[in-house]
Amino acid sequence: MDTKRRVVLITGAAKRIGATIARALHAAGYDLALHYRHSRGEMDTLLAELEASRPNSTLAVCAELADIEHLPRLVDASLARYGRLDGLVNNASAFYPTPIGTVSVPQWNELFASNAQAPFFLAQAAAPHLKSVRGSIVSIADIYAQRPLARHPVYSMAKAALVAMTRALARELAPEVRVNAIAPGAILWPESGKPYTDQTELIAHTPLARTGTPEDVATAALFLLRDAKFTTGQVLNVDGGRDLVI
């Protein structure tokens, strides 16, 4: 199917922030290729919701992002279905503590695979197609890329690599492709890796005195993909001002 509607590939799109980004882009008129790994049930629910709104506008693609050789297939599947690719959103992310002295090679590989390695190789596969339509890449980074989170050195390092990738690719792919990132603060509480009791302390160090919402991140993603025509190589903090005080 060759569509005139713009098409975006989103990783980790079945639930949480990824699903919210998918809903926001779909509502803005984008067709979507939605990546997931294990969350088939959540993906089926999301597909049914979006297809009810606009038939033939979504494609689900299952992949293990640590498998570098298979990453180009996500791009190929998007092109085979829609005939074009206008945007890539690197959202998928592993997150858990790795206190120094306990870090294993599998932990290192898993955290870097989803947070840095896969975004780079997906961008590399997508770049020729994004160039042809003057497309855009948006990656979900973290405020901890600049100020590492205690007991999470490997995660913080991987997100710092993602930020460096954003700036490097903004130069490499210019002027045809814009490359930016979003650094959320306290949005959704992690599914694992951080005790709930820390939430009060986080809010106390956030000038806007509340957590954000997935919609806040989705709005920023839509802005960077569609509206920020003269913006590249930037990291947009969506953190309620936390970067001012931590």
Tokens coding 12: 């980790």
Please list the ranges in the chain whose pLDDT falls under 70: 1-3, 189-198, 246
Q: What does the pLDDT look like over 52-101, one tens digit per residue?
A: 999 999 999 999 999 999 999 999 999 999 999 999 999 999 999 999 99
Tokens coding 51: 């297809």
* Residues forming the active site: 155
Q: Domains of the chain, with CATH numbers?
A: 7-244 (3.40.50.720)
pLDDT of residue 3: 64
Any alpha helices (H) in 28-152, and if so which ranges? 40-53, 71-82, 105-112, 118-133
pLDDT of residue 195: 55
Decide if 116 contacts 216 (C-beta within 8 A).
no
Decide if 183 contacts 235 (C-beta within 8 A).
yes
pLDDT of residue 202: 81
pLDDT of residue 192: 57
CA distance 171 to 216: 27
Question: If we measure between CA atoms, which residue out of 112, 122, 119 comes closest to residue 158?
Answer: 112
Long-range contacts, 208-212 (Cβ 8 Å, 24+)? 208/240, 208/241, 209/240, 210/240, 211/186, 211/187, 211/240, 212/184, 212/185, 212/186, 212/187, 212/238, 212/239, 212/240
pLDDT of residue 187: 86
pLDDT of residue 29: 98
